[in-house]
Amino acid sequence: MPPRTRPSIGEYLIDALNKRGVRHVFGVPGDFILGLYEIGTNRGMNMVNSTREEAATYAANGYAREKGLGAVAVTYGVGILATMAALGGANSEGVPVVVIGGAPGLAERDGRRIHHYPSDDVDAPRRMMDEITVASVLLNQPDIAYDQIDWLLDLCMSEMRPGYIELPRDMISAVPKGQLRTVARTARVPVPEDRCRAAAHDVAEAIRAAKRPLLWVGHGSRSLKFGERVLAFAERTGLPVVESVMGKGFVDESHPQVLGVYVGAGTEPRLRKFVERSDLIVGLGLDVNDITTGAFSVPIPAERTVRIFRNGTRVGHRTYLGVDLTRIAPFLEHERFPRRALPARMPYAWATPITGGDRVTTDIVADRLQRFVEPSDIVVCDVGVGAHLAMDARLNRAGQFHIERMYVGMGFAVPAAAGTALARGKGRPIVLVGDGSFQMTGFDLSTAIREGVKPIVLVLDNHGYGAERSIRDGQFNEVATWDYAAVGAVVGAKGACARTPDELDEALAAARRDRRHAHIIQIDLDRYDVPRALRALGEGLAGLMEAE
């Protein structure tokens, strides 16, 4: 390519994102990154200005969950550091978000003190990013910059982890003039096909030998968007399906073989008994931790389990390193299985209809949620009370539910709702958020409204940190009293408050009818109204604290 026809580094970066399906870049424009914002705007990229960098990162997280890649562009120092808490969640849950950080120009790196420096070390932000990303690159050599960009973006997508691109401001408009070069990198050793085939056969033998096997699906399956493949496998094998709390909603929960969420002690009693009597539990993309096991309350021995996880497959006490879900799936799908009848009585754990009552409760919210959500909707949930009541709500589309569960980072849902809707291009976000989480990022609803997204935000107002109260109560769990419904008038939404079931039904119906506005529905809950699963988790975590 002749030098005069080459794009600048900034242009190439925008085009590389666009090539991979990214049409929106979230962030807060600052002096070190302004040049990229100008280039992005000129090349048709939607440069979305969020209320703060943390919110932008959550929005990109939601975008990546729908699109396969999300992007954030922020300035040096203050901007990069402000993304890190939210980016840690993407790293923890395997979400490919690339942060593009503006930086001092190469000509400025001569010892002068420049604003936004977090220390005297100009490379400190990049080194910090190395701890929460799959890789980082510094675009300081024009002749290898194209290669660095393509490699980093592809790595994020293939490894499903965040990445970091540092872009000095005098490199944004720089055009490579010499011979383009590629960076020599160590080739990855492929996983032998025979190992994948052997692992699949071992898994299949375990399933064929079991009398009461079932599938326990986790967030790894969700990240891969394997919902349809998992249900097809369940139909062929006759295995019932339960979800983990991190895999919630990744399959179509209206399917008759999907029973609900299993989380140890926090599970609906009939479903818990059914799962724990199984003689084989096949975990697909399952991340075993204190959250997915209900504070380690899952009493299932290793010899009765199969786990297909991020780094391998384990059948009983045998492990096949490197044989993850993407590698084993094609071989497992070609195995033969006898036709197995489903159990006569399936213990579904979904919310039961509730009528009447003078006070809205978390059980009523779960019931109304599963009746209210339409297949086209996108359900985005924050941690805490909403996360636990949503476990009981039966949704009706694979991949309909988004939550950042493992990292337990508050403030995810409202900004992520904008990202998911912009990425998907259709559907209305239904947001479940606690009062504490809303106080962190709720005003970023204005970003969604500005971009044409009209969420319905359910603020679960239990007057404080309900999840923490379940572990250890005290005045430290109190938050300021807000009129959340009135926030609507500030950001351009409609507001309503619901204290009774009838008021909740009326507010939901009004929000559904009105597609021209976003809606905030403040649901006034008793401060000690805790969903079953959250109560059990709180007790378990409290026990772990006492054991220390």
Question: What's the pLDDT at 128?
Answer: 94
- On whether both 374 and 307 belong to a single domain, the answer is no
Classify burial at 236, counting beta carbons within 10 Å of its beta carbon; exposed 0-12, middle 13-18, buried 19 or more: middle
131: confidence class by pLDDT, cuts 50, 70, 90: very high
* 144 and 206 in a common domain: no
Most confident of 297-311, 371-385, 459-473, 530-544: 371-385
Together in a domain, 129 and 218: no
Can you say how many angstroms the Cα of residue 41 is from the centroid of all Cα atoms in its chain?
Answer: 27
How far apart CA 87 and CA 468 sit, in angstroms, is 23
Are residues 327 and 371 located together in one domain of the fold? no
Last residue of a domain, one of 332, 350, 382: 332
Query: Which residue has better confidence, 520 or 228?
Result: 520
182 within domain boundaries: no
What percent of the chain has a predicted confidence (pLDDT) above 70?
Answer: 98
Residue 547 banded pLDDT, cuts 50, 70, 90: low
pLDDT top residue among 422 and 344: 422
Residues 164 and 209 in one domain: no
Q: Across residues 239-251, what is the average pLDDT?
A: 93
Higher per-residue pLDDT: 339 or 47: 47
Domain presence at residue 348? no
pLDDT value of position 227: 85
Torsion of CA 48, 50, 54, 59, to 10 degrees: -50
Burial class of residue 417, CB neighbours in 10 A (0-12, 13-18, 19+):
buried
Query: In this predicted model, what pLDDT tens digit does every residue of 246-284 receive, in sequence order?
Result: 999 989 999 999 999 999 999 999 999 999 999 999 999
Alpha carbon 126 to chain centroid distance? 24
pTM more than 0.85: yes
Q: What is the predicted pLDDT for the residue at 425?
A: 96
137, 238: one domain: no
Q: Report the percent of the chain where pLDDT is more than 90.
A: 79
Q: Which pLDDT does position 356 carry in this prediction? A: 84
Give the mean pLDDT of 436-453: 97
Per-residue pLDDT band for 548 (boundaries 50, 70, 90) equals: low
Question: Among residues 102, 133, 168, which one ends one of the domains?
Answer: 168
Residue 176 lies in a domain: no
Number of domains making up the chain: 3
Residue 352 lies in a domain: no
Do 276 and 422 lie in one domain? The reply is no
Tokens describing residue 10: 């900034």
Task: Please say if the pLDDT value at position 2 is more than 60.
Answer: no
The CATH number assigned to the domain holding 528 equals 3.40.50.970
* pLDDT 10s digits, 178-233: 899 999 998 888 999 999 999 999 999 999 999 999 999 998 777 778 888 999 99
Residue 252 is part of which domain span?
193-332
Phi, psi (degrees; rounded to nearest 5) at 220:
-65, -40
**pLDDT digits over 334-392, tens only?**
999 998 888 888 999 999 999 888 999 999 999 999 999 999 999 999 999 999 999 99
Q: What is the mean pLDDT of residues 137-156?
A: 97
Q: What pLDDT digit, counting tens, does each position of 392-419 carry?
A: 999 999 999 999 988 888 999 999 999 9
User: Which residues lie below 8 Å from residue 129, measured CB to CB, with a gap of 6+?
Assistant: 80, 84, 87, 99, 101, 136, 164
Residue 543 has pLDDT above 90, yes or no: no
Q: 383 in a domain, yes or no?
A: yes
Same domain for 208 and 155? no
CA of 315: how far to CAs of 208, 229, 283, 320, in Å? 13, 21, 10, 8
Average pLDDT value for residue range 138-147: 97
Residue 99 has pLDDT above 80, yes or no: yes
Higher pLDDT, 467 or 138: 138
User: Shortest CA distance to 67 belongs to which of 422, 447, 453, 428?
Assistant: 422
CATH number at residue 328: 3.40.50.1220
Shared domain check, 35 and 107: yes
Mean pLDDT of the chain: 93
The confidence band for 288, taking pLDDT boundaries of 50, 70 and 90, is confident
Q: 397 and 542 in one domain? A: yes
Task: Give yes or no: residues 417 and 501 share one domain.
Answer: yes
Torsion of the alpha carbons at 25, 442, 94 and 420, rounded to the nearest 10:
-60
Domain membership flag for residue 75: yes
pLDDT the model gives residue 4: 56
Q: Based on the domain organization, do 421 and 480 belong to the same domain?
A: yes
Phi then psi for residue 420, to 5 deg, are -65, -40
Q: pLDDT grade, residue 294 (50/70/90)? A: confident
3-state secondary structure of 171: coil
Beta strands in 131-269 (DSSP E): 136-138, 163-168, 213-217, 241-243, 258-261
Calculate mean pLDDT across residues 322-333: 94
